[in-house]
Structure 1
Amino acid sequence: MKLLFDFFPIVLFFVAYKFGDIYVATLTTMGATLVQLILTWLITKRVDNMLKVSAGIIFGLGSLTLIFHNPDFIKWKPTVIYWIMAIALLVSQLAFKRNLIRAAMQEHIQLPDPIWSRLNFAWIAFLAIMGVVNILVAYSYSEATWVNFKVGSIGITLVFCVAQMMSIARYLPKDPS
C-alpha cells in the first residue's frame, strides 16, 4: 500500500498532463506531494527523510519549471531523485559500512550478509541506470514520450522489485505447514 501511496504524485502528473500540459502536470504534482506530506504526518506523526528530500526536489525543480516556463527542470527530477538514492546507498555502504536496504527490510526479512550486500548494489546499479535512461528519454524523444516513460518507470520499478524478491526467495524461511 505504501508503494502505491509513494507513486500517487506520479500518477496524478500523468493524468494532469493528459488533460492539460507539462505545467499543469507540474503544479498538480507539487500539490499532490504537499497532500502526501500532510497525510504522512497526520497518519504517522513523522515524515521520512527520503520523502522530505523528494518533496524538496519536486518543489524546487517544479517551481523553476513554472517560473521560467521551461520543462527541462521537471524532466531532471526523476534523475536527481534516482541518483541521490543511489549515492546514499553507495556512500552509506562504503563509507559507513551501513546497508540501507538491510536497515529498511531486516525487520521483515532475514538474509545472509553477502545477499544483503548484493541486494544493495543491485539497487545502486538500478537507480543509476534509471537516472541515465530518464535523461536519454527526456532529451531524445518528445515530451509526451518522456511523460509516458516517467509513468512506465513505475512498472519498471515494480518488475525490478519482483526480480529482487525472486532472487532472495530461496533464502527466506519455508512455511512449515
Structure 2
Amino acid sequence: MKKFLFDLFPLILFFAAYRFADIYVATAVAIAAGVLQIAWLKLTGKAIEGMHWVNLGVIVFFGGATLLLHDEAFIKWKPTVVYWLFAGALLGSRYLLGKNLLRKLLGAKIRMPDNIWDRFNASWTLFFVLAGCANLYVAFSGHYTESQWVSFKVFGLMGLLLVFVIGQSLWLGRHMQAPEETGAGAGDDLPAKPLTEQERQP
C-alpha cells in the first residue's frame, strides 16, 4: 500500500495543486514531485523501476514544454505518451525481441501456459493503447473542460486501471498452474527400493 501511494505521489500533488491554483502551477509541482521521487529512492538505496524513469522523462519533457510555451496541450499529451510507451515496450519485446516482458517480470511468481502468457501480454498492450486514446478524447474532443480532464486523468484513468487489474486477476486465476512439488518429501510416494540379497541376511 505504501509503494502504491508513493508511486501516485506526483499525481496526487498535481491534482491538489490544480485545485488550489491552475494547470501551470500543477505542472511545475508534478515535475518537482517526480524529481523528488527519484532522489528519495536514490538516497534511501531503494530500487528505481523503469516506470519511474519513464514517468520522470515524460513529465519533464512535456511539462517543461507546457511551462516554456505556456500551452497546456503538452501536459495533456503526457498520459497518452506514457501509456503508448508501455504498449510499445510490451509489443516490441514480444515481436521484435521474441521475449514476453510480462513473463520476464512475473514468471518467477506465476506459472501459466505459453499461450496464456501471450494473451496476457496482448491484453495489457490493448489496454494501454485504448487508455491513451481515451485520454486524447477527453483532452481534445472539445466536449470536456480542462477541469474535467484533470479529474479524468487522476480518477478516471486510475479507475479504469483498477477495474482492468481486477478483471485480469480473476482471469489469471482460471489459468494459473500449481507449482511442481520439489524438495524433501517429494519422493515419499515412490515405491520402496528392493532389498539386496546381502541386506536380507540377519
Alignment TM-score, normalising by the size of structure 1: 0.92
Q: Is the 8 A contact 2:93 2:99 kept in 1?
A: yes
Distance 2:152 2:137 in 1: 11
1:167 is aligned, of 156, 166, 171, to: 171
Aligned match of 2:160: 156
- The Cα offsets for residues 156-176 of structure 1, whole Å up to 9 and x where unpaired, read as 1111111111100123467xx
Match of 2:147 in 1: 144
Stretch moving more, 126-135 or 105-114:
105-114
Residue pair 1:7, 1:154 contacting (<8 A) in 2 also: no
Match of 1:105 in 2: 106
- Secondary structure (helix, strand or coil) at the match of 2:111 reads coil
Instruction: Judge conservation of contact 1:89–1:99 (CA < 8 Å) in 2.
Output: yes
Q: Which entry has the higher C-alpha Rg, 1 or 2?
A: 2
The answer to whether the aligner puts 1:66 opposite 2:67 as a matched pair is yes
In structure 1, list runs of 5 or more residues that go unmatched.
none
- The root-mean-square deviation of aligned C-alpha atoms, in Å, is 1.7
CA deviation after TM superposition for structure 1 residue 155, in Å: 1.5
Give the AA of the match of 2:158: I
Q: Is the 8 A contact 1:40 1:47 kept in 2?
A: yes
| Aligned residue pair count | 175
- For 1:109, the aligned partner's letter is I
CA deviations over 1:81-133 (Å, ceiling 9, x no partner): 01111011001000111111111111222222111111110000000001111
| CA distance, structure 2, for counterparts of residue 61 and residue 74 of structure 1 | 5
SS at match of 2:48: coil
CA-CA distance at 1:44 after TM superposition: 4.0
Q: Which whole-Å CA distance do the structure 2 matches of 1:41 and 1:158 have between them?
A: 28
Structure 2 distance, partners of 1:109, 1:163, is 16
Name the amino acid aligned to 1:154. Answer: M
Query: Equivalent residue for 2:136?
Result: 135
Which residue of 1 is the match for residue 187 of structure 2? none
Runs of 4+ in 1 over 4 A off after TM superposition: none
Shift of 1:73: 0.5
CA–CA distance in structure 2, aligned partners of residues 3 and 116 of structure 1: 25
Please give the alpha-carbon distance, in whole angstroms, between the structure 1 residues aligned to 2:10 and 2:46: 20
What CA distance in whole angstroms lies between the structure 2 residues aligned with 1:70 and 1:77?
13
1:119 matched to which residue of 2?
120
The 2-side partners of 1:43 and 1:102 are apart by: 29
Q: Indicate the residue corresponding to 2:24 in structure 1.
A: 23
Q: Which structure shows the bigger proportion of residues in helix conformation?
A: 1
Greater length-normalized contact order (CA 8 Å, ≥ 6 residues apart): 1
Structure 2 letter corresponding to 1:23 = Y
